[in-house]
Amino acid sequence: MKRIKQLSNRLANQIAAGEVVERPASVVKELLENSLDSQSRRIDIALEAGGTRLIRVRDDGSGIFKDDLQLALSRHATSKIAEVIDLEAVSTLGFRGEALASIASVSRLNLTSNASDDKRSGWKITVTGEGMSAELSPAPHPRGSTVEVKDLFFNTPARRKFLRTERTELQRIEDIVRKMSLSHPEVAFGLTHNGKTLRQYPACQSDAELDRRISSVFGKAFVENALYFEEEKHGLQLKGWIGLPTYSRSQADQQYFFVNGRTISDKLVTHAVKQAYSDVLYHGRNPVFALFLSLDPSLVDVNVHPTKNEVRFRESREVHDFIFRTIHHVLADVRPEGQIPVQSTPLYSRPLSSGAELGAPPTQSNIMFQRAGVGSAGVGGRGISEQAQHYGHVLGKEPLAYETSGSFQSLSDDETMPPLGYALAQLHGIYILAENARGLVLVDMHAAHERITYERMKNASAAEGVKTQPLLVPISVAISEKEGSLVEEYAVHFEELGFDIQLASEESLLVRGIPALLSRSNAEQLVRDVLSDFLEYGSTLRIQAHMDEILSTMACHGSVRANRRLTIPEMNALLRDMEDTERSGQCNHGRPTWSELSVAELDSLFLRGR
């Protein structure tokens, strides 16, 4: 056996660098966090060769005192914590005191800083990774700091071999800067590469400027297809932007989550968001979002990973449920009026096409409509025809009518146009064509009715509660001691989910009943799946998902089928119910239920106005 001996400072720093400094993007992240912690309002990043030759980060923060410069490059030296108790409520991005020392051990580093307003009183310290010898010299510098990292991994060639191409490393740095610009909109960021400006993020001082920053990160289309929200409950605050279900991506590459301004990757959060979208997102697609969670620093442990990319919530179940329910409700509240800028101006009075090309309805008069209540047709009960009988008046206003001349009579001055407009015709027994204040609306009648029926069935099921189906013969399930403790801890939750179970011993339990809607499911597998969710996330939505799947199938079979001819009142009844139904923009399988073509888009198809 070899004798135990103390590692040299150089070797210890390089080992630490292996955890903290994985690639140039890691260096940029650590330096940006230091700049943000120093209350900077402007940060400029200059790169050469994807950051391998040069990384220069300059800020206008509080700066570092001359006597502290040498100490700043030492391991475990920081101004952000002093006692063990400080680790229980870390409110800064950096706090370990390892970043600069680790970076300096694998590069040639220059640190210039000034903690005063005298531009002539700055100081510079130079360190090379080989001997970690530091040289201090005067260097004029405005208040703030500049860190230059040259020749990254020059003294550890094995590490350099693992780097990707210059383009790939640059893209990873750009992603870091994007995330920082989202979490700190009040700070201006600039990024150049090989002397060329790549990104400029001006500081945001208004909502319009914030929208521009979001657009610069996600693209303009995201802002036009995103929902902004703010929610606060029990000391937790969640705000941000989530993309509409119809605005999704094949990859999960535009999903940003921040905790107290810190960008993190967390499976608990990912699971909560995924579950919130599960009822409206097309299979295989990924939502786009930028979410910001704020909570008491003492309720989150940020000291669980060297790179600080992960955190541990002290009340993980509460956080998971809060994120899920907030996003779930935001998506549920989306109505056609939230996606279409409704105009109160009179309807277009220009003539319609006269022939059967548009499938124009026969001449009718005095066809009147009113908005339907969500529950007007019951749960999977009356069809569209019976719903239409409930539309009798337009709240005392002048009736909407088709005239024999073929022109569409406008609404009265104080009557507003419904978001989805009024039906014109049915196309191929599948689509409803309607005219609204903006142009033409096309509705997939089966997909729309399927969502309406599904939501009503879910509401009825929720009102009745989850019923338990007793088993004729109790099932014995072998479990571990850890799973047994979960059964005791979550006994009330199992009961709420419709299970009747009890511990038979430390290593077995008896299942006496399961949710009635899942009576044909494998009882043992259901219990094990729920236990797995409780163990990993502190909660479960698995049972609800199974029950929703059954209700979705029932709704699909009970909805109006293609090739069924509908009357104009029937079509309008469906449109009004869509406007009053949660998540009506997508069917149960995530497909869109309606689409719109504005008059301008229609004109462009026929080159009008050119």
**The pLDDT of residue 533 is above 70:** yes
**The pLDDT of residue 169 is above 90:** yes
Query: For 409-425, what is the mean pLDDT?
Result: 74
pLDDT of residue 373: 29
pTM of the model: 0.72
d(CA 488, CA 429): 55
Confidence of residue 128 (pLDDT cuts 50, 70, 90): confident
Contacts 24+ apart (CB under 8 A), 297-300: 297/89, 297/90, 297/91, 297/260, 298/88, 298/89, 299/235, 300/259, 300/260
Q: Three-state DSSP class for 235?
A: coil
pLDDT of residue 562: 66
Interval 326-373: pLDDT, tens: 999 999 888 776 564 333 222 222 222 222 222 233 222 222 222 222
d(CA 106, CA 128): 8
Place of tokens 């500049």: 146
Q: According to the 3-state scheme, what is the secondary structure of 194-207?
A: CCEEEEEECCCCCH
Interval 539-565: pLDDT, tens: 777 777 777 777 777 677 667 776 788
- DSSP assignment, residue 592? B
| Side-chain-facing half-sphere of 308: CA atoms under 13 Å | 24
Where does the chain hold its CATH 3.30.230.10 domain(s)?
207-334
Query: For 370-391, what is the mean pLDDT?
Result: 35
Interval 477-525: pLDDT, tens: 999 888 888 888 888 888 888 889 999 888 899 999 988 877 777 888 8
Helices (H), 205-306: 207-218, 220-224, 267-277
Contacts of 17 (CB under 8 A, 6+ apart): 102, 103, 105, 106
Confidence of residue 235 (pLDDT cuts 50, 70, 90): very high
Interval 438-471: pLDDT, tens: 999 999 999 999 899 888 878 877 787 778 889 9
Asked whether 442 and 594 are in contact (CB, 8 A), the reply is: yes
Query: For 77-100, what is the mean pLDDT?
Result: 80
DSSP 433-458: EEE-SSEEEEEEHHHHHHHHHHHHHH
CATH topology (fold) of 207-334: Ribosomal Protein S5; domain 2 (3.30.230)
Asked whether 161 and 17 are in contact (CB, 8 A), the reply is: no
pLDDT of residue 357: 28
pLDDT of residue 385: 40
pLDDT of residue 242: 94
Confidence of residue 231 (pLDDT cuts 50, 70, 90): very high
**The pLDDT of residue 604 is above 80:** yes
CATH of domain 9-201: 3.30.565.10
pLDDT of residue 417: 86
pLDDT of residue 338: 59
Interval 57-66: pLDDT, tens: 999 999 999 9
Where does the chain hold its CATH 3.30.565.10 domain(s)?
9-201
d(CA 434, CA 406): 15
Query: For 249-269, what is the mean pLDDT?
Result: 90
Confidence of residue 243 (pLDDT cuts 50, 70, 90): very high
